[in-house]
Structure 1
Amino acid sequence: MNISLRQITTFREVMRSGSISQAARTMMRTQPAVSAMVATLEDELGFRLFVREHGKLSPTPEAQFFLEECEAILDRLERTERTVNQIRSLQAGKLRIACLPAASGLFMPRLLTGFLADKDELDVELIMRSSSLIEDLIASQQYDLGFSETPAPRASIEQADFELECVCVLRADDPLAAREEIGPEQLDGRPMAVLFDNHTTTRRTAAVFHEAGCTLTRRVELRTSLPGLQFVAAGMCYMICDMLTAYSYIVQDRAAGHLVVRRFRPVIRNSVSILTPGYATMSLTTRALYGHLEQSIHRMRETMEAATEMPSPGG
């Protein structure tokens, strides 16, 4: 059989309206066109759908049974059309996101809250993983988008890199908070919270102190930076911190004002990247989130730039 959707919708309308003429008016077509459509459908099916008795069009028992099938087909088509429209307007689908710890506590959830506000049918899976594991999850196409520390280039990964500066975090009542910039000379021999030895930021920090002839005193060693802020707030140490972690504090605790951030010089960079599978085409929703994430990174930079500036006198 070669039955068209137009034949099915015409048949359904005739069944609903009870007459060829009324169906033609509803569908804004001519009566002969509707009659011809029903006739060709009957020829294709091989049985009668309507009989005319005493000047009235009556459906056959076969028509009643066929109507159930037509309704099911058209209902499914309407659902499919709604789903396609939702996908097109980024209202439906699923996003799988793998995120580094520094951004998992506040930055990424805050970003997603805004992104998902008007997308009730869009589901999200968000996991926190180390940057090295995120690379593998993206390369193997298990996740749609990753946010990690910048990896070495791989053919199986597409990446956009963003250079961020580390900042010095200290208590607001510390005498060093009066400085616009802090360097290894000011932190020479002072207790520090640092990440584990093999972390890029720790290695770069140690190199900067060594080149300045200063001593990096490691009082607290961490796997992730966020807990270090508690030690700094307690007055136990200072911390040279990645921008994402410091941003989380600025957003959450700015009103309390327990800590401040200052520029650290010479610059220690901590690069992050947006990762997507290299051998797969991004979905529309992934592409939209990608752009949203790019904008959020730029806004974070602006916020942190303002946070590191000294307040104006009397301000």
Structure 2
Amino acid sequence: MHLTLRQLATFREVMRSGSISQAARAVGRTQPAVSTMVQTLENQLGFALFERSHGKLTPTPEARFFLEECEDILGRVERTERTLERISALQSGTLKIACHPAASSVFLPRLLTRFLTGREELAVSFIMRSSGVIEDLIASQQYDLGFSETPAPRPSIRQSDYDLECVCVLPWGDPLASASVVTPQDLDGRPMAVLFEEHLTAIQTEEAFRAAGCRFNKRLELRTFLPGLQFVAAGTCVMVCDMITAYSHILQAPEGAALAIRRFRPRISSSVSILTPGYTTQSMAGQAFIAELKAAVAGVEREINTLLGPP
């Protein structure tokens, strides 16, 4: 016995309407075709579904029982079709995202908020972790997407790398706020906030001062640059930080409380990457969000460079 969904749907319409002609109109087929389909269905089942008398159809008890089964089967199929439509429209599914601290407070949540608009049934798991932990989460396929500092390449991870330059953040009223470029000579001996000494940006910054023969005054050592913005605003220090942290400040700074963001030379590199598992296929929702994330990272670099002016 090989029943088809079309047979079941046609039988259901006949039962609902009580008429071959009305069922034919509902399913978009001719009346003879529907009559033939019902007879074929009865032959396959081995019992009558209708009693025929004077052109009228009267369902048998077996037909009423069979209708319950058809309703259950067709209901599941229709629910599945709706689910697949939502998945195709990126409105349903799951997405697990791990993000490093610099982008986790403002940049990525804002982007994710826009992405989720109109996608009420798309479930998201969003966590903040250090870049090293994110790398392991992606390599082990526990998360769909990671946004972190650039790791060393490995087969279990696909990555798109972005080499963003660091910028100098100063109190708005600082005399250096009028400069287009800030150098180690300008900051000679001034208190600075930097990341922990093993971090690449801290190493590069200290080396830039050493090469220029300037005193590197590390007053505050931080795990992330975000709290450093408050110290700079209070006049406690200045800071050479990553571009995304500076951009996050621009997005959320109250009116009149903006910090001065200036280009720093020599160039200090801060590389970030979009990471995905190397041995799995990304979902359609994941692919769509990655496309928006790539555009957003490019937008950050474009906007900051417009603010900073020519290099």
2:212 corresponds to: 212
Please list the CA deviations of residues 193-236 of structure 1 after superposition, one character each: whole Å capped at 9, or x if unmatched.
01101111101111111111111111111111100111111111
Q: Distance in 1 between matches of 2:118 and 2:25?
A: 39
Q: Distance in 1 between matches of 2:250 and 2:291?
A: 23
Asked if 2 retains the 8 angstrom alpha-carbon contact of 1:94 and 1:124, the reply is yes
The residue identity in structure 1 corresponding to 2:150 is T
Q: Distance in 2 between matches of 1:213 and 1:250?
A: 32
Asked if 1 retains the 8 angstrom alpha-carbon contact of 2:250 and 2:258, the reply is no
State the TM-score, normalized to the length of structure 2.
0.97
2:262 corresponds to: 262
1:104 corresponds to: 104
Once the two structures are TM-superposed, the CA of residue 35 in structure 1 deviates from its matched residue by 1.4
Find out whether 1:175 has 2:175 as its counterpart: yes
Q: Distance in 2 between matches of 1:22 and 1:172?
A: 77
1:45 corresponds to: 45
Once the two structures are TM-superposed, the CA of residue 54 in structure 1 deviates from its matched residue by 4.6
Q: Distance in 1 between matches of 2:46 and 2:166?
A: 77
Paired residues, number: 310
1:313 corresponds to: none
The residue identity in structure 2 corresponding to 1:176 is L
Which stretches of structure 1, 4 residues or more, deviate above 3 A after TM superposition? none
Please list the CA deviations of residues 227-254 of structure 1 after superposition, one character each: whole Å capped at 9, or x if unmatched.
0111111111110011111111111116
Q: Where in structure 2 are there 5+ consecutive unaligned residues? A: none
RMSD over aligned Cα, in angstroms? 1.3
The residue identity in structure 1 corresponding to 2:196 is F
Find out whether 1:146 has 2:146 as its counterpart: yes
Once the two structures are TM-superposed, the CA of residue 31 in structure 1 deviates from its matched residue by 2.0
Once the two structures are TM-superposed, the CA of residue 116 in structure 1 deviates from its matched residue by 1.1
Q: Distance in 2 between matches of 1:21 and 1:287?
A: 47
Asked if 2 retains the 8 angstrom alpha-carbon contact of 1:141 and 1:277, the reply is yes
Once the two structures are TM-superposed, the CA of residue 191 in structure 1 deviates from its matched residue by 0.5
The residue identity in structure 2 corresponding to 1:274 is I
Please list the CA deviations of residues 44-100 of structure 1 after superposition, one character each: whole Å capped at 9, or x if unmatched.
212111011354210000100110110111111111111111111111111100001
Find out whether 1:202 has 2:199 as its counterpart: no
1:280 corresponds to: 280
1:95 corresponds to: 95
Q: Distance in 1 between matches of 2:176 and 2:21?
A: 88
State the TM-score, normalized to the length of structure 1.
0.96
Q: Where in structure 1 are there 5+ consecutive unaligned residues? A: 311-315
The residue identity in structure 2 corresponding to 1:39 is Q
Please list the CA deviations of residues 7-64 of structure 1 after superposition, one character each: whole Å capped at 9, or x if unmatched.
1011001101112222223323222211111111112212111011354210000100
